[in-house]
């Protein structure tokens, strides 16, 4: 049995679930399945070069968080069509990993690739508990009555911050790192207050 995080792009796994990746990895196997190459996040670098760089960044972050990372290697161009073709491969992989919990994007995320991942994971009808997180939305406002899982990540928050700093391409080429990464840490702080801890990540039952 394992814990599996399924995301659209390199860095999504750390933004959305870096704290619990490091926490679970202390005692059990944790896998991050990254579906796309992340090859169109900036026009400043050729797609093939950017894809290679982002893969290396996620691998570096994984060494910090102590998880294993698996890349499906789908280009971001025509993402939905390519994801649909890879759906059977993704299901086969997840069955092999035997996850007792899967963490992935939410259906209401504003990024279309994130929504597509959530849609596919939901459609696979896997025998696992599935929890979702939001990345593109600063604070989730939908499904307020949906069951939530709060995880105290006070002991791994520093590892999450270190892992986020691995994604230099997003800090300096994309620019989103300056917004999303600090916001992710701030959100963890706010969530921690809700359960009387320093930091926490919150997930919603799919």
| pLDDT tens digits, one per residue of 179-198 | 778 889 999 999 999 999 99
Q: Is pLDDT at 145 greater than 70 in this prediction?
A: no
pLDDT tens-place string over residues 162-179: 999 999 888 766 666 667
Q: How many helices and strands, by DSSP H and E, does the chain display?
A: 7, 7
pLDDT tens-place string over residues 1-45: 899 999 999 999 999 999 999 999 999 999 999 999 998 876 677
Choose which CATH entry (3.40.50.10320, 3.40.50.720, 1.10.10.10, 3.40.1190.20) describes domain 2-205: 3.40.50.10320
- Which class for 127: exposed (0-12), middle (13-18), buried (19 or more C-beta within 10 A)? exposed
pLDDT score recorded for residue 79: 95
- Residue 139: pLDDT band (50, 70, 90) is low
Cite the beta strand spans of the chain per DSSP E.
Answer: 2-7, 30-36, 68-74, 99-105, 129-133, 148-152, 200-205
Pairing of strands 68-74, 99-105: unpaired
From 205, 19, 4, select the one nearest 122 (Cα to Cα): 205
What ranges do the domains of the chain cover?
2-205
> 150: phi > 0 → left, psi -120 to 50 → alpha, else beta; which?
beta
Phi and psi for 8 in degrees, rounded to 5?
-80, -45
pLDDT tens-place string over residues 39-48: 887 667 788 9
CA dihedral 141, 142, 143, 149 (to 10 degrees): -50
pLDDT tens-place string over residues 79-132: 999 999 999 999 999 999 999 999 999 998 989 999 999 999 999 999 999 999
């Amino acid at each position: 049995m394992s814990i599996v995080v399924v995301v659209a792009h390199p860095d999504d796994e750390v933004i959305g679930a870096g704290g619990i990746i490091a926490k679970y990895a202390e005692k059990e196997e944790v896998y991050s399945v990254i579906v796309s190459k992340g090859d169109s996040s900036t026009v400043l670098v050729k797609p093939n070069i950017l894809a290679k760089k982002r893969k290396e960044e996620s691998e570096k972050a994984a060494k910090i968080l102590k998880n294993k990372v698996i890349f499906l290697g789908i280009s971001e161009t025509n993402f939905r069509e390519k994801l649909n073709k890879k759906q059977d491969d993704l299901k086969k992989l997840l069955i092999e990993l035997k996850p007792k919990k899967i963490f992935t994007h939410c259906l209401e995320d504003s990024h279309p690739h994130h929504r597509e991942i959530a849609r596919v994971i939901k459609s696979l009808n896997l025998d696992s508990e599935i929890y979702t997180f939001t990345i593109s939305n600063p604070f989730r406002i939908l499904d307020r009555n949906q069951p939530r899982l709060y995880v105290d990540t006070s002991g791994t928050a520093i590892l999450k911050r270190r892992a986020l700093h691995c994604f230099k391409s997003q800090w300096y080429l994309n620019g989103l790192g300056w917004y999303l990464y600090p916001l992710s840490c701030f959100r963890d702080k706010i969530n921690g207050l809700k359960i009387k801890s320093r930091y926490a990540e919150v997930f919603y039952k799919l």
